[in-house]
Every structure is written in structure tokens, then in C-alpha cells.
Amino acid sequence: MKIKHYPGKAVDASLSLEGSSAMGALYEANWLQAAAQSPSPQPPSLRISPGKLSRQSSSAGSSFLLDGISALSKYQMTLENIRNLEQQSRNNNIMSTIKELNGYRKPSTLQLDQHQDWVTEDPEPIEDHYQEKIPETAPPKEEYSAKDKPAVNHYVLDPTERPRPIPRPRQQLSVKPPSLRRSQTMSQPPSYATLRSPLRLHNKKPTVSNSSSAYSTFSSAAEDAQDQVVICQQPQRVMVPPPREPPPEPPRRPGKPLSRSQTTVQRYATIRMPNQSLYRSYTQKDSTGRRHSLEQAVKGLRLQEEEPREQGTDTSSTKQRQISPAASSNGSSKDLNGEGFCIPRPRLIVPVHTYARRRRTGNLKDQSSGAQEEEEEAEKDGRVEVSREGKYLSTLSGAKVLGELAILYNCQRTATITAITECNLWAIERQCFQTIMMRTGLIRQAEYTDFLKSVPIFKDLADDTLIKISDVLEETHYQRGDYIVRQGARGDTFFIISKGKVRVTIKQQDTQEEKFIRMLGKGDFFGEKALQGDDLRTANIICESPEGVSCLVIDRETFNQLISNLDEIKHRYDDEGAMERRKINEEFRDINLTDLRVIATLGVGGFGRVELVQTNGDSSRSFALKQMKKSQIVETRQQQHIMSEKEIMGEANCQFIVKLFKTFKDKKYLYMLMESCLGGELWTILRDKGNFDDSTTRFYTACVVEAFDYLHSRNIIYRDLKPENLLLNERGYVKLVDFGFAKKLQTGRKTWTFCGTPEYVAPEVILNRGHDISADYWSLGVLMFELLTGTPPFTGSDPMRTYNIILKGIDAIEFPRNITRNASNLIKKLCRDNPAERLGYQRGGISEIQKHKWFDGFYWWGLQNCTLEPPIKPTVKSVVDTTNFDDYPPDPEGPPPDDVTGWDKDF
Ligand SMILES: Nc1ncnc2c1ncn2[C@@H]1O[C@H](COP(=O)(O)OP(=O)(O)OP(=O)(O)O)[C@@H](O)[C@H]1O
Ligand SMILES: Nc1nc2c(ncn2[C@@H]2O[C@@H]3COP(=O)(O)O[C@H]3[C@H]2O)c(=O)[nH]1
Ligand SMILES: Nc1nc2c(ncn2[C@@H]2O[C@@H]3COP(=O)(O)O[C@H]3[C@H]2O)c(=O)[nH]1
């Protein structure tokens, strides 16, 4: 971004910017840094080490910076114009240069030849503006000693990242009805477990001093007027925020020289150009209403006719005559809507101030030939020093812009600029500057709107929506190889490519390699997924074009308001899973509760029964309909869990997870229509067989590993693994069911809800230390043990005893002989007391489990493609065969009371 290269990065602590000035933000940071480096006593809040001026060090500062991006780009265009002007003037092409700033009338009093080098005779030099600003005292030379080197700020602004407050984790302690059979699911903490408040995460914000405290660091060093020319000077020791209205007029004293040290005669030219416009051709090429309105807006800028002014006329008096009431209110863009809007012709006053300096006596580089060349080079462009309150801030040379803050914010000069070499500066009046800003703003807006119209997804958007989007767009540029978006990072922005090509890659779960997904080019967009989901980037976007990539960046708020609902945005980069989900939704859209016919009961859960159903018209398929009593959900405060169950199952598309097709609700129940798994519960088979051999256990464990891989890669913790929640389909593959305790976690965060099944809970859950996906790896070890032996390793006569045994650890458990050495090794690696040490949770992720020697030779690929033959093939004679399930008598309790409180409106 250009912001990186902006040279004048010193900070102005006194400037009361309104959070929208990028330059202000940069200056702010620079000033803080200069202040921090300064040996002078600082208030504690200002003692920020330079290294800490990074994004994360100061949330206030960083958001300030980010907020400022908008303002930056707004006047960046202007700065470019000004630079262009300068460039062109060097080529002595005055007329064409002036035409860049359209809307000026023909010069009547100035002769062309007078402009040839931008210098015209002017008996009333502009130096008067600066006369009173010449400091009376010189700064001590130590001010510029080596220890006060220019503050080096290298800001890498990543618009995709932003620090966020850390939310406190939710703590839910509630009871599920004790209706379970052997392994009882619970969501109540053990009574002896000390329930500590969840870890308080303080989001410490470094305090950024306000302007008044910054002022308290004022040091009285003054400029050395003998040595340097002060071009503009900040007011000394202003203790109150500078007034915003009216703008301070620079003091004028006609006839006085610019400064004591000025050696060349200053020339000052007022140049006016014919009223020819850039936007004529521009408006012609577009016939839309929106363009028309733009045209009118631009025409609104038509400048008042102005009498030719005599060369050398006092500019301020002329100016007063020219300024209309509209213009004197700054001519901001909001005025453009008003009919008959008219701002005065901005008089382009382009004085060439030639400043000279005396050579500094101290701290100069040695005059070797190299240094001399450098010096000469600098001399050519001119060099100025920026200081504030006597402190050196930076040195500017070349085509740099300065003095914009005071005119942008109607405040007093915020820094002192001192010529340290001979330099030519160009000055533009406030009015002119603002007009350029306005004009370039409009032109930019029209260009962006045009571009957006050419992008297929936006072409049908209303004109005013496009204008709104154009208004907030920020253009950013990237170089080849730059990661514009990094997978896993937090994202707050949406991008449209306006130039170049980017590469999309996705990091592979187990290999860490980046898989190439696709190329995107001009008119394509990216970044919507993080904004639609949980803020995390789901892919890498890398700048591919050798000549770089330009993107138009849109903030989250605008995206949400204007863009997020576009269908194409929602689904353009859907992976296969999401596409399949869409198909499912489509397929079940017209199925209602009344279309379902109950065949038999498959099971009884905590909140009701699970019935085998068929739709009226189709006997070739069957479904499982889970029916949950709303009153009971509310009684046990499981509303949040049920909503989460619906959300997670509804989005999941994994062959090792039971699919949820549709949900319904009525006054008494919530319903989930799922795929039916007629092979029965793994628990039933285990009960009948007693235990499984190594290879059977391996197959079922591998199915769970696949399901966990799917869930964990989406940061979803399952939390209720047990053989009862593993259902076999008719082929014998197992699928995870019952997502009542599943939860989507924020990356790196833990959860504290005490839930699970006593025999399967991890120690950190019992101890309420906070848990995450590693708790699932613990339960995987327990499952392996139970499948191999028929009983879980940690079993007490009641939950309390069970917890006690769990807390003693896996090493206290005796492993029966039938558990092979490799199996026990894996179980022990999964059931480590310390969650961080559990296999699956370490660097290699879940692939470490897949690679464990117990799985040696296991045909993972066959499992994933369902070509592997399952160890047990259940007998399922038809789609309504329920022989693999126990029989359940009718519910003795009868129908529950109505619940119409509406908590389930999103179910
Ligand atoms: N899709 C399905 N196909 C076949 N049977 C199912 C299906 N879903 C659930 N069942 C049967 O119903 C039982 C209860 O289902 P589920 O575990 O989802 O209910 P729950 O109320 O969440 O139970 P819990 O109290 O164990 O959490 C299961 O153990 C299983 O026997
Ligand atoms: N406040 C401040 N101004 C700077 C800095 N570097 C360059 N400048 C320029 O110095 C100018 C002084 O006059 P303005 O306040 O109008 O605008 C200021 C900026 O354009 C800096 O670090 N801080
Ligand atoms: N996840 C994913 N993202 C893609 C794909 N193709 C392009 N993208 C874009 O890559 C972007 C990375 O950041 P986001 O996750 O915010 O949004 C993502 C999509 O806009 C794809 O196949 N999968």
C-alpha cells in the first residue's frame, strides 16, 4: 500500500483528528515513537518502545490506522495530482500541467513565457504567510544528534487483520434428564469439582496518550533560525485542541522577506486556466442515469466566473470576493446534491518558493565525494526537516507533500517544516486543494462505479448502491508473491480484483502443503467466506501477476449491508460439500411434517423418541425423525445446545456423520429429519459380542477419526463420543449421531461447559480447566479401550467414583492382555492427562493418529471412498427393517405442555 511509502510519518499528538485520517494516524504513531525515543521525560503512557508500535501493541493505534486508510486514499489521488503537476512543470509544460486541474479560465494577465519555469515576478511574495512563523530562537544542535535519528516506521498494514476483543466464554451448567441406559450423557458438573470462573482474558489495550498528555511532553527546544528556513511552523505550546472553525488564516505582512535565511528572490504566480473540463469526455461515454447524476454533480463544480486578476494582486482580498457562501462552508461533497451548487473557481496559486539554507555546522556527513554526490542529489530535490515541539521527526525530500493537515482539518500547523537544503516548494491554497480533492473524489467514484458495473455480480445492483460501494472502496496494490489473504487469519474485508491475477490455495490438513485451487482475475472477488462465517480466512490468496495486483477493498459493514445477500456471493466458491447441502435443502424444501408417516421407534433419547418415518408418497426411502420436547429442553436449559446441534448437523456433509435433512417445529416439539442408519447402534453390537478384535476396533475407530477430522478441521468439538452414538448404516460403516454437545469453537479458544458421558469425559472437563478438541482425543482412547474390552477404562459405580478414577490417569489402569501393545500405546497416547500431549492435538494434527503404528497397513483411502469392506455387515432387509434396534414401549408420560415462547424461532 502507498501508506508504506509515505515519507512523513511523524506523529502529531496535538492534532485532534476524527479517526479518519490515515496521515494523522501515521503521524500519530511517528510522534509516539519519536516521543518514546526521546530522552526527555515522558508521561508513562507515552513510554512506548519503538518495537511496540506494531499492530498488536496498540489496539487504539491500529484501529486508528485502519480507520485512517479511507482518508488516506481520498487525498492520495490529490497528492498524485500535485506530484504530476510538479513532474510536468519540470518539463516546462505549464499549460498541460495546469489543465490537469480543470476548471481554470484562460490566463489573461500572465504571459506564457512567464510560466516557463513556474516562476513569475510577483512583488507580493508569499513569504508573508510565513513571516511570523519564523522561530525566534534556534534549536540546540543536539536536537539533531545521532541519538535523535529519524524514527523509522515501517508500517505493514494488513487490512484483513484486526485485533478483536476476546469474548468471555459461555459457561453452561445444566442437567439432561437421566433417561439413558449405560453410559449416561450428562451436562452437570461433579459436585466436588471446583467451578472456577472461566479464565478472565484481559484484552489489555496500551493506552495511547491523548493530545493534552502529549503536549505535556513539550520540550522547549526551538528552531535554529540562523541555519534554516522555517516553511511552516506549528503553534508553540497550544494547550487546547486547535480550533476547527474557522481555519486560521496565515498572517500576512506584505513586503517582508520570507525569512532571514532566504537567499533567492521568491516568485509567485497566480495562474488561471480556461474552463475546460476533464469530465466532458468522461460523461459522454456513459448514458446511465447514475452517470447523469454524476455529471450534474461534477457540473455543480462549475466555477464561478472570475474577473481576471492582475498579477500580484493581494490574494486574500481577491479570494474573499470570489468565495460564495457555499464555498465558504468548505465546499464539501455533501453540498453537491444541492441544486445550483456552486463553489468558487479555485484559483490555482502556484508559488514557487525557493528556500535556501545555510549549511549546518554540526552533524553533517563528511564531505567525501560520495557524500557530496548524495548531498548534491538531495540539493536538487530539496530537503526539509519535520520537527515538532523542537523534536526532530523526519526528513522529507523529493516530491513530497506537506502542509495538508492544517488545510484538511482546519487546524493550526501541526509541525514545523524547515528547509535544510535549497528547495523549491509549491503551494496550493486551501480552496484549490479542497476543490481538487472533491473533483478527484468524484472522478474516482465514477471510475469505480463504472468498473463495478462491468463486474457481472454487481451489474444488476441499483445505481445508488454502486455509488455507495464506490464511496467506501479502498484500492490496494500488491506485489507478486504477496499473501493478500492468509488462510486461518482473521478477516474483515472483501476484495474485488481490479487488475492482475491471484492464486487461491488451501493448506492441506495433514501435509501442510498448499493445494492450488484456482486462479482469479479482474472482476473476480474473494474474502466473502470469512465475513459470512467465523471471521477466519478459509484459503490463501496470493498475488500472481508479475506486474502486481490491484484490489478494491470493501469493509465488513458495507459488505453486510450491500453485498452479502447476492446469491453469487454466497455460493461462488462453495466446495462440493456445500453444494451437496444446497441440493439436499432443495430436495427437502417441500416436505412437511404432515407428509411423514411413523413406522417404528428406533431409540429413545434425552428429550424424546427417534422414529423411523417415511414420506407419504415415497416408500423407497426411510428417515429417522428425532422428536424433542420443547418444555424439557427449556427445563434443562439446553436451548443453546439444541440450536447448535441443528446448526452443526445441518451444515455437516461428511459420510461419517449422520445427515440432517430438515427441521420442523410445532408447539410441543422440535423435530430433526435425518438419514436413517438401520444397522443399529455400535453399542448394541458390542453388547452382543462382548468385545471386538483389534481389526474390527480399528475399522470403527478409523471411522470416528474421519468424522473427527471433518469436525476438528472446522473447529467443532464433538464431546459425546460413546458406542451408543455410533450408528451403523446398512453397509456396516459407522456414523456419528447426536450432536447435542457439539460446539464450534473460536480458534485457539476453549470452552468450559461441563458435559459428556462420565466414563468418557477428559480430566480437564472434570477439573473445569477449559477444554477444546483435545477432549475428543481423550474420548477416542476411551472408545478404543471399550471396543477392545467391552468396558470403558474408567468405570466407577457412580459418576463421582468414575471421575476419581479418571483423575488418577490412564497409567493407573490395567490393560487386559487382549489389548495389543500397539493398541495400548495408542490409547495411552490419546489419554494423556495433559491435553496438549495427546496424539492428534500436536503439530501433525489428526494425521499423527492415522500414522500411528496400530493403523499400519490400514487402508485409509478405501475407508474414505467407502470401498473398504466393513468388518461386520448388519442384516438390513428393507428400508423399514428395524430389527437391529431394541423395542421401545410408547412414551408413558404423554404429550408435553405447549411452549410458544419463541426461543426456537431459528430452529
Ligand atoms: N439417524 C438415526 N438412525 C437410526 N437410529 C437413530 C438415529 N438417530 C438416533 N437414533 C436412535 O435413537 C437413539 C437416541 O438418539 P440421540 O442419541 O440422537 O438422542 P438424544 O436425545 O440426543 O440422546 P442422548 O440422550 O443419548 O443424548 C440413538 O441412540 C439411536 O439408537
Ligand atoms: N504533524 C506532523 N506533520 C508532519 C509530519 N511529517 C510531515 N508533516 C507535515 O508537516 C506539516 C506541517 O503543517 P500541517 O500541519 O498543515 O501539515 C503537516 C504535514 O504535512 C509529522 O510527522 N507530523
Ligand atoms: N474456501 C475456499 N475459498 C475460495 C475458493 N476459491 C476462492 N476462494 C476465496 O478465497 C477466500 C479466502 O478468504 P475467505 O475465506 O474470506 O474467502 C475465500 C473465498 O472468497 C475455494 O475453492 N474455497
Tell me, yes or no, whether 558 and 578 share the same domain.
no
Residue 547, domain member (yes or no): yes
- Residue 625: φ, ψ to 5°: -110, 110
Distance CA 309, CA 107 (A): 9
Residue 456 corresponds to which cell in the numbers above? 457481472
The conformation of residue 269, written as its DSSP 8-state character, comes to -
Supply the pLDDT for residue 95.
34
* Residue-averaged pLDDT of the chain: 68
Cα of 405 vs centre of ligand 2, distance in Å, is: 6
Over 60: is that where the pLDDT of 452 sits?
A: yes
- Residue 614: φ, ψ to 5°: -130, 155
Residue 762, domain member (yes or no): no
Q: Is 195 exposed, middle or buried (0-12, 13-18, 19+ CB in 10 A)?
A: middle
Distance CA 814, CA 824 (A): 10
Closest C-alpha residue for ligand 3 atom 23: 573
Cα of 349 vs centre of ligand 3, distance in Å, is: 50
Residue 670 corresponds to which cell in the numbers above? 422440535
CATH number at residue 632: 3.30.200.20
Is residue 80 very low, low, confident or very high in pLDDT (cuts 50, 70, 90)? low
| Cβ neighbours of 623 (radius 10 Å) | 23
Distance CA 232, CA 247 (A): 15
The answer, yes or no, to whether any atom of ligand 1 lies below 6 A from the CB of 185, is yes
Tell me, yes or no, whether 557 and 607 share the same domain.
no
The answer, yes or no, to whether any atom of ligand 2 lies below 6 A from the CB of 411, is no
Is residue 386 very low, low, confident or very high in pLDDT (cuts 50, 70, 90)? very high
Distance CA 665, CA 667 (A): 7
Task: Locate all alpha helices (DSSP H) within 11-121, ordered by sequence.
Answer: 22-37, 59-90, 94-100, 112-115
The H or E element spanning position 829 is helix 821-830
Known binder of ligand: residue 626?
A: yes
Tell me, yes or no, whether 593 and 619 share the same domain.
yes
Q: pLDDT digit string (tens) for 527-554? A: 999 988 778 898 999 999 999 999 999 9
When comparing pLDDT for 2 and 255, which is higher?
A: 255
Report the pLDDT averaged over residues 48-62. 30
Residue 417, domain member (yes or no): no
The answer, yes or no, to whether any atom of ligand 2 lies below 6 A from the CB of 12, is yes
Closest C-alpha residue for ligand 1 atom 18: 738
Q: pLDDT digit string (tens) for 759-775? A: 999 999 999 999 999 99
Supply the pLDDT for residue 186.
62
Minimum-distance ligand 1 atom for the alpha carbon of 608: 21
Report the pLDDT averaged over residues 242-256. 38
Closest residue by Cα to residue 448 from 468, 420, 425, 426? 468
771 HSE (CA, 13 A, CB side): 31
Is residue 84 very low, low, confident or very high in pLDDT (cuts 50, 70, 90)? low
Q: Could you say which of 563, 580, 601 is where a domain stops?
A: 563
Tell me, yes or no, whether 584 and 540 share the same domain.
no
Distance CA 388, CA 223 (A): 10
Distance CA 755, CA 766 (A): 9
Percent of residues, the chain, with pLDDT higher than 70: 57
Supply the pLDDT for residue 426.
82
Report the pLDDT averaged over residues 618-639. 94
The answer, yes or no, to whether any atom of ligand 3 lies below 6 A from the CB of 529, is yes
Alpha carbon of 874 to those of 367, 623, 696, 750, 879: distances in Å? 92, 18, 14, 39, 13
Cα of 47 vs centre of ligand 2, distance in Å, is: 22
Q: pLDDT digit string (tens) for 174-220? A: 333 333 344 556 655 444 332 223 333 333 333 333 333 322 222 33
Task: Please report where in the chains the cell 492428534 appears, as a residue.
Answer: 840
Q: Lowest mean pLDDT: which of 232-236, 283-287, 462-466, 688-692?
A: 283-287
Residue 524 corresponds to which cell in the numbers above? 473476480
Closest C-alpha residue for ligand 1 atom 31: 603
- Mutating to test ligand 3, I would choose from 573, 576, 579 the residue with most ligand atoms within 8 A of its C-beta, which is 573
Cα of 758 vs centre of ligand 1, distance in Å, is: 18
Distance CA 856, CA 846 (A): 15
Which entry of 492, 720, 772, 776 is annotated as an active-site residue? Answer: 720
What per-residue string of b and e applies to 107-120 under the rule 16 or more CB within 10 Å gives b?
Answer: beebeeebbeebbb
Active site residue 720: yes
Region for 500 from its dihedrals, namely left if φ exceeds 0, alpha if ψ lies in -120 to 50, beta otherwise: left
Residue 623, domain member (yes or no): yes
Minimum-distance ligand 1 atom for the alpha carbon of 658: 1
Tell me, yes or no, whether 672 and 586 share the same domain.
yes
Between the CA atoms of 844, 848, 850 and 853, what dihedral angle is there, to the nearest 10 degrees? 150
Which amino acid is present at 317?
S
CATH number at residue 522: 2.60.120.10
Minimum-distance ligand 2 atom for the alpha carbon of 415: 12
Supply the pLDDT for residue 713.
83
Distance CA 55, CA 51 (A): 10
Is residue 295 very low, low, confident or very high in pLDDT (cuts 50, 70, 90)? very low
Residue 474, domain member (yes or no): yes
Percent of residues, the chain, with pLDDT higher than 90: 39
Tell me, yes or no, whether 514 and 555 share the same domain.
yes
Supply the pLDDT for residue 439.
87
Cα of 14 vs centre of ligand 3, distance in Å, is: 43
Q: pLDDT digit string (tens) for 713-733? A: 888 999 999 999 999 999 999
Q: Lowest mean pLDDT: which of 199-203, 488-492, 740-744?
A: 199-203
| Cβ neighbours of 851 (radius 10 Å) | 13
Tell me, yes or no, whether 468 and 538 share the same domain.
yes
Supply the pLDDT for residue 289.
35
Supply the pLDDT for residue 599.
95
Distance CA 649, CA 659 (A): 7
Supply the pLDDT for residue 480.
95
The answer, yes or no, to whether any atom of ligand 2 lies below 6 A from the CB of 238, is no
Closest residue by Cα to residue 721 from 787, 818, 673, 640? 787
Distance CA 500, CA 548 (A): 6
Q: pLDDT digit string (tens) for 685-706? A: 999 999 999 999 999 999 999 9
Over 80: is that where the pLDDT of 264 sits?
A: no
When comparing pLDDT for 485 and 441, which is higher?
A: 485
Report the pLDDT averaged over residues 298-321. 34
Write out the residue range of the structural domain in which residue 494 sits.
455-563
Tell me, yes or no, whether 543 and 616 share the same domain.
no
Q: pLDDT digit string (tens) for 147-183? A: 333 333 222 222 233 333 333 332 232 333 333 344 5
Closest C-alpha residue for ligand 1 atom 17: 738
- Residue 766: φ, ψ to 5°: -60, -45
Over 90: is that where the pLDDT of 127 sits?
A: no
Tell me, yes or no, whether 596 and 521 share the same domain.
no
| Cβ neighbours of 316 (radius 10 Å) | 13
Is residue 397 very low, low, confident or very high in pLDDT (cuts 50, 70, 90)? confident
The H or E element spanning position 236 is none
Closest residue by Cα to residue 596 from 565, 572, 619, 578? 619
Supply the pLDDT for residue 376.
60
Tell me, yes or no, whether 529 and 584 share the same domain.
no
Closest C-alpha residue for ligand 1 atom 1: 676
Residue 748 corresponds to which cell in the numbers above? 485457539
The answer, yes or no, to whether any atom of ligand 3 lies below 6 A from the CB of 530, is yes
Report the pLDDT averaged over residues 742-755. 88
Report the pLDDT averaged over residues 133-142. 36
Over 70: is that where the pLDDT of 625 sits?
A: yes
Residue 363, domain member (yes or no): no
Supply the pLDDT for residue 162.
31
Residue 844 corresponds to which cell in the numbers above? 501433525
Closest C-alpha residue for ligand 1 atom 28: 603
Residue 512, domain member (yes or no): yes
Distance CA 242, CA 554 (A): 33
Q: Lowest mean pLDDT: which of 364-378, 537-551, 633-647, 648-662?
A: 364-378
The answer, yes or no, to whether any atom of ligand 2 lies below 6 A from the CB of 393, is yes
Cα of 536 vs centre of ligand 3, distance in Å, is: 10
Supply the pLDDT for residue 369.
54
Dihedral sign (CA 166, 492, 585, 680): negative
Supply the pLDDT for residue 600.
95
Distance CA 552, CA 69 (A): 13
Q: Nearest 5 degrees, angle CA 735-CA 739-CA 741?
A: 140
Distance CA 688, CA 685 (A): 5
The answer, yes or no, to whether any atom of ligand 1 lies below 6 A from the CB of 658, is yes
The answer, yes or no, to whether any atom of ligand 1 lies below 6 A from the CB of 404, is no
Tell me, yes or no, whether 528 and 622 share the same domain.
no
Residue 527, domain member (yes or no): yes
User: How many domains are contained in the chain?
Assistant: 2
Minimum-distance ligand 1 atom for the alpha carbon of 605: 21
Tell me, yes or no, whether 593 and 645 share the same domain.
yes
This complex has an ipTM of 0.62
Q: Could you say which of 563, 589, 608 is where a domain stops?
A: 563
Q: Could you say which of 509, 539, 563 is where a domain stops?
A: 563
**Residue 100: partners with Cβ closer than 8 Å, 6 or more residues away:** 81, 84, 85, 88, 278
Distance CA 75, CA 68 (A): 11
For the beta sheet containing 680-681, the strands, ordered from the edge strand earlier in sequence to the opposite edge, are 680-681, 726-728, 734-736
Cα of 414 vs centre of ligand 2, distance in Å, is: 6
Report the pLDDT averaged over residues 457-485. 91
Over 60: is that where the pLDDT of 106 sits?
A: no
Residue 385 corresponds to which cell in the numbers above? 526537516
Helix/strand/coil (H/E/C) assignment for every residue in 508-562: CCCCCCEEEEEEECCCCEECHHHHHCCCECCCEEEECCCCCEEEEEEEHHHHHHH
Q: Which ligand is nearest to the CA of 638?
A: 1
1-15, 55-69, 363-377, range with greatest mean pLDDT: 363-377
Minimum-distance ligand 2 atom for the alpha carbon of 14: 1
The answer, yes or no, to whether any atom of ligand 1 lies below 6 A from the CB of 718, is no
Over 80: is that where the pLDDT of 383 sits?
A: yes
